[in-house]
Amino acid sequence: MASITNIISSLNSITEKSSFNVYIPSLKKEVRFKPLSTKQQQSFYSCVVDIVPFYTRFIIATFNIISENCTEPAIISQLNVFDRLVILLALRKNTLGSSIAIIKDKVQYVSDFDICFENAKTLDIPDSKSVNLGNIIVELQVPRVVDQYVLEKTLRENVDTSKMNPDTIISQSVLGETSKLIKSVKLVQENETIDVNYEQLNVKDRFTVLENLPAEIMIEVQQYAKLVSQTTDKLLTVNITEDKTAIFDITVDFFLSK
């Protein structure tokens, strides 16, 4: 009779053997991922309570899954939001298949998101962008999954967002999205550049820095955010008929139904 430890160890090795390749757009290479376990699939059910505009539980759950299932843990800190989407597409395909129901103009279509893997290979990821405003230099980047995770974990994991007032929701949304797009903030004083070590700051301190930046910065940030959003749309565009396309979202529903 096998012990629990032996059985779990056998199951783990089976899972490893069933791992599959996922093309990571930012690294331009394939990385192996283990399929979802029962526990991980179950974790999606607890994300159903997420309330728009925050997807706190889903972001935390998917980050944990990506970290646990990636066979190259060293790359986790480098992954960006596009990589995350491609990995989630691959995990979904491996468990529930690549068929997806999409509603557009009140009509439901059944499509296949296999094409997204092709989109990923040709994805034009926005380069980092440096914004100079007087003596302030802000560098923008495509948000990293680790920043997305830390922000949700720190700010909202144990908060009942349904009870938040509208002002707080708007303020947290804007600051949160902006903070993920910023890579560094530098101040130029008398020919000397001072790095505020933005990446080392905690979420609340990052917000404080953002609140003290000149308003013009936000216009640049919005433009860059639009670029990121357009790239996401390109990645998640599928055909719904021979001549129609649609963009779909990856929320928890994506993992709960075929």
Partner 1 sequence: MPFTLNAYLPSFKQDVSVYELNYKQYRDLVKSLYNSNKKETIQQYNSIVADLCPFIKDRDTTFEDKLSILLTLRNFCISPDLKLKGTADKDTFYHTVTIDNLLKEVRTINKSATIVIDNITVDISSYKMRDEQVFAGNNKDITIILASYIDTLKIDNDKVEFKDLTIEERVKIVNSLPYALSDKVYESIIQTENYYDSQELLVVANPHTDEAVLRLSKNITFEVLQKMIEFLFTEDLGNVFRAFYNMVKFAGFSPEYIDSITPVEMQVYWMYYMQDQSEKQKSTSTNNSGAMLPSTSSPNAELGF
Q: Nearer to partner 1 by C-beta: 7 or 159?
A: 7
Give the binding site for partner 1 (CB under 8 A).
Answer: 1-4, 6-8, 10-12, 14-15, 18, 35-42, 94-95
Task: State in angstroms the smallest separation of the CB of 101 from partner 1.
Answer: 18
3-class SS of residue 23? strand
Find the shortest distance in angstroms from Cβ 91 to partner 1. 9
Helix 203-211 vs helix 166-181: angle between axes, to the nearest 10 degrees? 90
CB nearer partner 1, residue 10 or residue 241 = 10
Which CB, 96 or 209, lies closer to partner 1? 96
Provide, rounded to whole angstroms, the least separation between the CB of residue 68 and partner 1: 12
The per-residue DSSP string of 69-124 comes to HBS-GGGGGG-BHHHHHHHHHHHHHHHH-SEEEEEETTEEEEEETTHHHHHHHT--
Nearest distance from residue 40's CB to partner 1, in Å? 7
Q: How far is CA 104 from CA 95, 245, 248, in A?
A: 25, 9, 10
Q: Give the span between the Cα atoms of 90 and 121, in whole angstroms.
A: 13
Q: Which is nearer to partner 1, 64 or 135 (CB)?
A: 64
Distances (CA, A) of 78 to 25, 32, 93, 120: 11, 15, 23, 17
Contact 45, 256 (CB under 8 A): yes
- Considering beta carbons, is residue 35 or 126 the nearer one to partner 1? 35
Closest CB 36 distance from partner 1, rounded Å: 4
Complex with partner 1: residue 65 or 236, whichever CB lies closer: 65
Tell me how far, at minimum, the Cβ of 232 lies from partner 1, in Å: 26
CA distance linking residue 114 with residue 233, whole number of Å: 15
